[in-house]
Structure 1
Amino acid sequence: MSQSAVYVLGGAQTDFARNWSREGLGLEDMMRSVLIDGLEATGLEANQIEKAHLSNFTAELFCAQGQLGGLFAALAPELSGVPSTRHEAACASGSMALLSAMADIEAGRYDLICVLGLEYMRNVPGQTAAEYLGCAAYAGEEWSDATYLWPRAFSDLNEAYSEKYGHPVDYTHLGEIARINYENARRNPNAQTRKWQFNTESFTENDDTNPVIEGHVRRNDCGQVTDGAVTVFLASDRFMRAHAKKQGRTPSDYAQIEGWGHRTATMRFADKLEEGQNTRFVLPQVNQTILECFARAGIDSPFALDTIETHDCFAMTEYAAIDSFGITSPGESWKAIENGTIAFDGRLPINPSGGLIGLGHPVGATGVRMMLDSFKQVTGQAEDYQVEGAKRAGILNIGGSTTTIASFVVGRAG
């Protein structure tokens, strides 16, 4: 457990279906919108924010804009002078902002911190976006011949699984992961794909309805290029209890971060695979991060969780997360797909929000979004995508080819 309890008071996310560039709106508009919505949702005031931790991957490339703290300071008069820090760890940027905010609260430096993650990516052609996002790999060293770098990378993960466990990863299972996440997204009013239409061939190896992007990766098992921002507010125990009383609420209306794990692996994917050669896992650093998180939370099984928000930039990423969580033995993730464990009404639903595939993947915001959705689940506020009876949620957020790995356990506060 943490030295000092850290609570999640709530927050807000933008509609991930929006294309902000087409609306003539920029980064600052996105930040202001989600901050205002987050303050309204929690009953907080801008003048109560003591610190901001911002997460973003590539604003310099997509928007030619750095120094995002200065944009935050201009969102409201009360925020001018508020200290802020920006965090970058590719797709795990949001989790790094959360961990730093937690550390600030645990150290007693601040009582209320705004964590705001954002990414603005739909203002450039798809090929350009793919090139920008590729900078999370080892520049010039990995997959330089690929048209789409990250689909190629996770196609290689597919092959690594097949080689290690002696049988190919069946696309039937990857297609089912994608189908579940798109179906879950239909329940989420902020999901990018909530109105998308599919047919019975959309999640099969049909090259017309589900064409190959790179290697073993097909179109419908890819996470989305998304514009979006998310904010959550983290608080100390004393602030949470005072705020609850002021709002006429109880501590159980909020969530507590019960445990966390954080590891950084070597950059090259081939080196990661080499580390796993003499272990039971393809990517042992991912499993170790989760185990460290569980230990801090005081649990010893994934089935102590009621739901999981996991990184599914591709269906293969979620497939690898299933056994990394210990839901199945290593190499047997397919069993949890076939027996319905991960379905919305299963024993341990994964990505009831829709995940990166269905909800969307604004890179720098994803870790923060996972925390917000976990807060909603454990406090019973997820509405149409609420997992019945959820009291504890797990999170796995990764950056690059599992270079940065973060995991959290979130429970209802008491």
Structure 2
Amino acid sequence: MTDHRPNRPRVYVLGGAQTDFARNWHREGLGIEAMMREVMTEGLAAAGLEPSDVEAAHLGNFVAELFCGQGQLGGILAGLAPEFSGIPTSRHEAACASGSMALMAAMADIEAGRQDLVAVLGVEFMRNVPGETAARHLGAAALAGCEWQDARYLWPRAFSDLAEVYGERYGPLDYRHLGEIARINYANARRNPKAQTRGWHFGPRSFQADDAENPVIEGNVRRNDCGQVTDGAAVVFLASEARAARYAAARGLALSDLALIDGWGHRTAPMRFADKLREGASTPFVLPHVHATIRDAFGRAGIADAFELDLIETHDCFAMTEYMAIDAFGITAPGEAWKAVEDGVIAADGRLPVNPSGGLIGLGHPVGATGVRMMLDAANQVTGRADDMQVEGARRAGILNIGGSATTIAAFVVGQGPA
């Protein structure tokens, strides 16, 4: 995919906010409306915007109907401020990539000239039911009645199967590498004041194949390999170049002080995991469409490889997902992600830090909010506003967001506006 600027309309990120992912809103007696209201209020304040500035809104959410018995989330958003009543809203669903689909739609609105400033809000309310019930609800992203029916926890089983396929293709995986991916993400999360696990403590064998400190959940997936079940929301505000220029001028800023969505990729694979594996059987990659989506984003951004990025926020619903992402980004050759782990490439102080936020494992994974949260963290990094998570000198960030068993894939490159 070759689609680099200058003729494509530019879309900027003006700012936003996320909720504290450690909160259990159900225990506080609060619901999804309160979560949406809080993040929108905080996001507007953080970006220095008024509700009247927002011309449209897109929402990412997976299964509010199952967790909350609630649909029509656009109507909830329209009631968050009097100025929102009447603006166009749309909801987008693609399992764990729902937030990225909302971002894509908002970008398209701006690129088409329909609106100049659009809110993108991702939200998921998940901690109001027992864990096994949550697992069943989240299983809606697999083909109903057809996949992993014998599993107690469907998604750990699915990504355990991915690990087995990697082992068959490239040689057995060493659990030490998966454990180190998890350890890095939890360590990064300790620097994130909004992370669900920031106060968690681990024992000396918590990231080893130890059945006491790190028990098996399904197959070869262990407890500390898993992303979290999280209540949370995130919002960002996207703007056209003309609107971003006015925004910057009013604050004594240059466009180069703002984050720019410089590239994107979006592909959808067949629902059945077995069908995905068949498509990759004759290629170097187990899941070639993931690599292709990232290459689409690179092409649109005009970059050659992952090492033109300064950091990556990637989907790590399980440690194995990040292991797969390492070679999908081209950090290593296919099947050799262990080299990047052993060499410290992905560590917070490595050549290419991965998930300085803590990722889905450390920060948390409110499903419909994750893609929006990734965009917020990437934008904060490239504008120097990531506080204790800041990657020194960061100017360009990559994002990979995955829905289901790698069914929906979204990738972005986020940089800085032109000087």
CA distance in structure 2 between the aligned counterparts of 1:366 and 1:39, rounded to whole angstroms: 19
**Amino acid aligned to 1:142:** E
Aligned to 1:110: 115
Residue among 312, 326, 337 paired with 1:308: 312
1:296 aligns with 2:300: yes
Residue among 355, 375, 381 paired with 2:359: 355
Aligned to 1:281: 285
Report the CA distance between 1:218 and its aligned residue: 0.1
Aligned to 1:246: 250
Report the CA distance between 1:249 and its aligned residue: 2.2
Report the CA distance between 1:229 and its aligned residue: 0.3
Structure 2 counterparts to residues 1-400 of structure 1, below 5 A? 1=4, 3-165=8-170, 167-400=171-404
Deviations 1:126-157 (A, max 9, x none): 00000000010000100011000000000000
CA distance in structure 2 between the aligned counterparts of 1:249 and 1:26, rounded to whole angstroms: 38
Q: Look up the SS of the partner of 1:198 in the other structure.
A: coil
Report the CA distance between 1:412 and its aligned residue: 1.3
CA distance in structure 2 between the aligned counterparts of 1:36 and 1:277, rounded to whole angstroms: 48
Q: CA RMSD in A?
A: 0.6
Q: TM-score, normalised by structure 2?
A: 0.98
CA distance in structure 1 between the aligned counterparts of 2:173 and 2:140, rounded to whole angstroms: 28
Q: Look up the SS of the partner of 1:181 in the other structure.
A: helix
CA distance in structure 2 between the aligned counterparts of 1:183 and 1:375, rounded to whole angstroms: 21
Deviations 1:247-269 (A, max 9, x none): 22222221000000000000000
Q: Look up the SS of the partner of 1:258 in the other structure.
A: strand
**Amino acid aligned to 1:337:** V
Report the CA distance between 1:98 and its aligned residue: 0.4
Deviations 1:356-401 (A, max 9, x none): 0000000000000000000010000000010010000000000000
Deviations 1:192-230 (A, max 9, x none): 000000021000011000000000100001000000000
Deviations 1:84-129 (A, max 9, x none): 0000000000010000100000001100000000000000000000
**Amino acid aligned to 1:135:** A
Q: Look up the SS of the partner of 2:333 in the other structure.
A: coil
% same residue: 71
1:43 touches 1:247 (CA, 8 Å); kept in 2?
no
1:401 aligns with 2:413: no
Report the CA distance between 1:244 and its aligned residue: 1.0
CA distance in structure 2 between the aligned counterparts of 1:229 and 1:6, rounded to whole angstroms: 22
CA distance in structure 2 between the aligned counterparts of 1:391 and 1:14, rounded to whole angstroms: 25
1:53 touches 1:115 (CA, 8 Å); kept in 2?
yes
**Amino acid aligned to 1:244:** A
CA distance in structure 1 between the aligned counterparts of 2:257 and 2:416, rounded to whole angstroms: 7
Structure 2, unaligned runs of 5 or more: none
Q: TM-score, normalised by structure 1?
A: 0.99
Q: Look up the SS of the partner of 2:134 in the other structure.
A: helix
**Amino acid aligned to 2:148:** W
Q: Look up the SS of the partner of 1:316 in the other structure.
A: helix
CA distance in structure 1 between the aligned counterparts of 2:189 and 2:257, rounded to whole angstroms: 25
Deviations 1:157-210 (A, max 9, x none): 000000111x11110000000000000000000000000000210000110000
**Amino acid aligned to 1:82:** I
Deviations 1:60-103 (A, max 9, x none): 00000000000000000010001100000000000100001000
1:174 touches 1:316 (CA, 8 Å); kept in 2?
yes
Query: Any runs of at least 4 consecutive aligned residues in structure 1 with deviations exceeding 4 A, and if so which?
Result: none
**Amino acid aligned to 1:325:** F
**Amino acid aligned to 1:219:** R
Q: Look up the SS of the partner of 2:191 in the other structure.
A: coil
Q: Look up the SS of the partner of 2:381 in the other structure.
A: helix
CA distance in structure 1 between the aligned counterparts of 2:345 and 2:370, rounded to whole angstroms: 24
